[in-house]
Amino acid sequence: MSKQQTIGTVIAAHGRHYLATATIHGELHRLQCVTRGKKTNVAVGDLVKLTMTSADQAVIDAIEERKTLLYRSDQYKSKLLAANVTQLFIVVATEPSFSDDLVSRALVAAEAAGIEVRLILNKTDVEGALPRARERLQVYAKLGYPVHEVSAKTRPEETVAILQPLLAGHHSILIGQSGMGKSSLINLIVPDADIATREISEALDTGKHTTTFTRLYTIPGLGDDTAIIDSPGFQEFGLYHLTEGMLERAFRDFQPYLGGCKFYNCRHLSEPQCAVLDAVASGGIAKMRHELYGQLLHESSQTLY
């Protein structure tokens, strides 16, 4: 008898071990999956072709074509964050203070992957730090990235009411530095998240590392076309994989000026009559953004793979 084949959605990844959900004979099953050989190119959110090897185990035969792929990378290799997401939420807070470098890198990664971005400012109840946080977020709001103000702790219902309509119909990923309140937000949106995480952790045998893996949740009441992906907190967001051409296009604020430089292959670093540098000088492009662009250009030239 030939083994049963099915299509699943990857909901968690830990090393070469994956967990997928699949509907078999009308019932939702959770399957422990491995790849063939040493492949680790599967991402949370991927749709995969599976061959069942037992009632709750399967082998991943193939990855279906992806709508989007979000990843980060260092000098040596790239690391897949999530597949098929349509929306990225960057969670920041009034305190502790957030990193503009990380926010901007996440924005660039999302632009390069064709993913919409929204910023969430959490902990608006910390009033002393609110004006400064709002002021800092103006840079991003001016670029057209929506900023949504919430307080997971002191105004939970209002927070859910703000976020639910934004999530509906999307596959969203939440990222944020440690301490911004990302877990608090996930727990509001997915009330069973802690239980689900524990179950996933056991199934993947991750030991105590319950927060070091990326996982996908469905959201109660929002149907199958809606999902939310929680990724572990990060301190670094390398973008070594982006080419020069991708980089200049991923900076939204550069777009009006591209093509206006004297040299067609201008890198916008120190060339004469560069429209981008002129815009930085006149304030049309924030200096911070151009500095990051320079840094990312440097990183992309350091790639060893």
Q: Identify which of residues 168 and 258 has a Cβ nearer to Zn ion in the complex.
A: 258
Binding partner of 268, given Zn ion, ligand GTP, none, CB within 5-8 angstroms per partner class: Zn ion
In the list 14, 123, 170, 290, the residue contacting ligand GTP (rule: CB under 6 A) is: 123
Q: Which range, of 150-158, 161-169, 235-243, 257-265, touches ligand GTP by CB under 6 A? A: 150-158
| Residue 237 DSSP class | -
- 215 sits near ligand GTP (criterion: CB under 6 A): no
- Closest CB to Zn ion among 19 and 274? 274
At which residue do the structure tokens 């939204």 appear?
252
Q: CB-side exposure of 29: number of CA atoms within 13 Å?
A: 19
Q: Could you please report the per-residue DSSP string of 114-181?
A: T-EEEEEEE-TT-GGGHHHHHHHHHHHHHTT--EEE--TTT-HHHHHHHHHHHHTT-EEEEEE-TTSS
What does residue 270 show for φ and ψ, rounded to 5 degrees? Answer: -150, 15
Report, in angstroms and rounded to the nearest whole number, the Rg of the chain calculated over CA atoms.
21
Q: Which is nearer to Zn ion, 28 or 281 (CB)?
A: 281
- The binding site consists of 122-125, 176-184, 261, 266, 268, 274
- Closest C-alpha to 114, from 176, 81, 70: 70
For residue 104, the partner it binds in ligand GTP, Zn ion, none, with Cβ less than 5 to 8 A by kind, is none
The three-class DSSP label of residue 219 is coil
Q: How far is the CB of 53 from ligand GTP (least distance, A)?
A: 35
Residue 132 sits at the vertex; the CA angle it makes with 131 and 138, to the nearest 5 degrees, is 90
Chain positions 163 to 192 lying near ligand GTP, rule: CB under 6 A, are 176, 178-184
Residue ranges in 218-247 that form contacts with ligand GTP under rule CB under 6 A: 233
Cβ closer to Zn ion: 141 or 288? 288
Count of residues of this chain found to bind ligand GTP when the rule CB under 6 A is applied: 17
Residue 276 binding partner per list Zn ion, ligand GTP, none, with a CB distance cut-off of 5 to 8 Å that depends on partner kind: Zn ion
Is 263 in contact with 270 (CB distance < 8 Å)? no
Write the DSSP assignment of 267-291 as a string of letters: -SSS-TT-HHHHHHHHTSS-HHHHH
The yes or no reply on residue 83 touching ligand GTP (CB under 6 A) is no
Q: Which member of 122, 172, 197, 226 binds ligand GTP (CB under 6 A)?
A: 122
Which residues inside 259-288 make contact with ligand GTP, applying CB under 6 A?
none
In whole angstroms, the minimum distance from the beta carbon of 274 to ligand GTP comes to: 39
Residues forming the site for ligand GTP (CB under 6 A): 122-123, 125-126, 151-154, 176, 178-184, 233
